[in-house]
Amino acid sequence: MMSTFEYISVLVSIILGMGIARLVAGVAAVVARWQHVSLYGPHAVLVLLVFVLHIQEWWAFFDLRSYEAWRLPVFLFVVLYPINLYILAHLLFPVRWKRQQSLREFYELHYRKLYVFLAALIGLAILDNVFIGHYRLHDQWAQGLLLMPTLAMVLTKNIKPWMHGAVAFLLFAFTIIALAITWNSLVLPQH
């Protein structure tokens, strides 16, 4: 018989798998069109970030295996993060590729949408940590600090090109540092 966690994790895994597939397909499309695509650093960093976040979410979701209070509202809240990640994966690559595709031009047209969903991810992570993980709100200061430049990317017009790179790198570096700091807690138990 399937446990509640196994039942719930199936849908979460499908959503995360679709996001990973979209990212891999986007990278494969870049490779296939290599001579007709111009890359852009901040875009590439966001692709890496969203890929790492997909993998991290899939891995971290296993910690909920002992969660006892599964109700539909809790599940709907928990599944918002993977759905948000899927939307980000979808927004990172063109649906229709141009013969000569500039990923800088594509990024500049869509970066505000990307940062809206990145800000939503940070907000969802804070709420999840407080309500599901039982962390205190004031323990979420680092995520709160990340929210500021992320929201600034949404709200500010005429952002300097170096700022796009700096904010993308900051988000990616924070994610990698957080994974490194929590390295020993990211171990799956052996049965």
Average pLDDT, the chain: 93
Tell me: pLDDT of 189 over 70.
no
9-60 pLDDT, tens digit per residue, is 999 999 999 999 999 999 999 999 999 999 999 999 999 999 999 999 999 9
Q: Which has the higher per-residue pLDDT, 151 or 184?
A: 151
Report the pLDDT value the prediction gives residue 76, as an integer from 0 to 100: 95
User: Which among 116, 163, 124 has a CA at the least distance from the CA of 143?
Assistant: 124
52-98 pLDDT, tens digit per residue, is 999 999 999 998 998 888 999 999 999 999 999 999 999 999 999 99
Q: Is the dihedral of CA 167, 22, 59, 7 positive or negative?
A: positive
pTM summary value: 0.93
Contact 150, 118 (CB under 8 A): yes
Q: How confident is the model at residue 190 (pLDDT cuts 50, 70, 90)?
A: low
Structure tokens at 181: 């700091």
Report the pLDDT value the prediction gives residue 170, as an integer from 0 to 100: 96
Would strands 37-38 and 101-102 be described as parallel, antiparallel, or unpaired? parallel
Q: How confident is the model at residue 137 (pLDDT cuts 50, 70, 90)?
A: confident
d(C-alpha 131, C-alpha 81), whole Å: 14
Which secondary-structure segment (H or E) carries 120? helix 103-131
Distances (CA, A) of 15 to 9, 25, 65, 84, 115: 10, 15, 18, 10, 20
